[in-house]
Amino acid sequence: MAEVRRRGPSPIRGIHHITGLVGSAANDLRFYRDVLGLRLIKKTCNQENPTSGWHFFFGDRLGSPGTIMTNIILEGVPMPKTVEGRGSITDVSYSVSPGSLDYWRERLTAAGCACSDRPARFGDPVLHFRDFDGISSELVGCEDTRMPELADLPDEHQIRGFHHATLAPRIPELTVQFLVGVLGFEVVATEGSRTRLAVGGNEPGKLIDVVERRDGPWGRHGLGGLHHIALTVDSVGDMEKWTRILAGAGLIVTGARDRGWFHSTYFTVPGGINMELSNLDPGWTVDEEIDSLGRILSLPKHLEAHRTAIEAALPAVEF
């Protein structure tokens, strides 16, 4: 009998989106759309608990993977502030051109955000700030050929997308071992206690830094913190294959969930970091034209029957 070979999944392509938890829809819009200049590409509810609040997606004009910052908005929900500690995703970093950091320092300061220079990282300058809800964020000045085509900022200063995310896992060596051995990351650089890993290419939007933090508090999810990092896979079929691999490695994996514009499967990697795999189909234009993304309340098919109740429950927001 001919041997039947089961093909493995296509490799992971880089970061798809990064998700935070925040407490104010108005602040979220004002910060990511009006200050950072990103495009609101989709507004939906928190699909795990549809009447609990909004979920906004911001990104480049097309909502390209590697540019998408999303926030679950728990307005009026009695959730404590996040504790950034061991087991946290501590920072989300965006890339801008190297000459843009002075522009951004001035723009963020004018918006009321305290900025501070951090030591150069792998040779690139880093500017730290927090969004209006406290999410720890950075701009990295670097060469990045992506052009986000955002309408409201001068081209030379636009945020190109994610540069990297920084993790402070509980046991950093376990996390590095897992990212390399199971998910296919490569270690591309080290600097002090920081290890840079890349997946799908050694370039902005495909990088994750693991830092060793041997003391200080354990991290805790809460408002003003980063909740998970989603990585891009090619298809739902690939997601299913990766789900089997992750389960085989001993992880609890949710399996693919239909989010309306893509599917997602969730898991926690050793070291305590929440991650997700997302594919790209059917994409943002399944329910809106590309030029009018982010205007309607978008819901996946299985939530459409509850649209009236969801619309009634979501806090009023002036878009």
Q: Which residues of this chain interact with Fe ion, rule CB under 5 A? A: 19, 230, 276
Nearer to Fe ion, 35 or 231 (CB): 231
Binning the chain into helix, strand and coil, the percentages to the nearest 5 are 20, 35, 45
In the complex, the smallest distance separating the C-beta of residue 72 from Fe ion, rounded to whole angstroms, is 9
Closest approach, Cβ 101 to Fe ion, in A, equals 29
Q: Quick one: 195 or 232, whose CB is closer to Fe ion?
A: 232
Nearest distance from residue 150's CB to Fe ion, in Å? 22
How far apart, in whole angstroms, are the C-alpha atoms of residue 233 and residue 277? Answer: 6
CB of 278 to Fe ion, least distance (A): 7
Closer by beta carbon to Fe ion, 75 or else 276:
276
**Contact by Cβ (8 Å): 30, 262:** no
CA dist., res. 224 & res. 152, Å (int): 26
Q: Which amino acid is at 185?
A: F
Nearer to Fe ion, 19 or 93 (CB): 19
Closest CB to Fe ion among 90 and 100? 90
Contact 196, 209 (CB under 8 A): yes
Report in angstroms how near the CB of residue 41 gets to Fe ion at its nearest: 14
CB of 17 to Fe ion, least distance (A): 6
Beta strands in the chain (DSSP E): 15-22, 39-45, 54-59, 68-73, 88-96, 116-121, 124-130, 136-141, 161-168, 186-191, 194-198, 207-211, 225-232, 257-258, 263-269, 273-278
Choice between 126 and 199, CB closer to Fe ion: 199
Q: Whole-angstrom distance between the N-terminal and C-terminal Cα of the chain?
A: 63
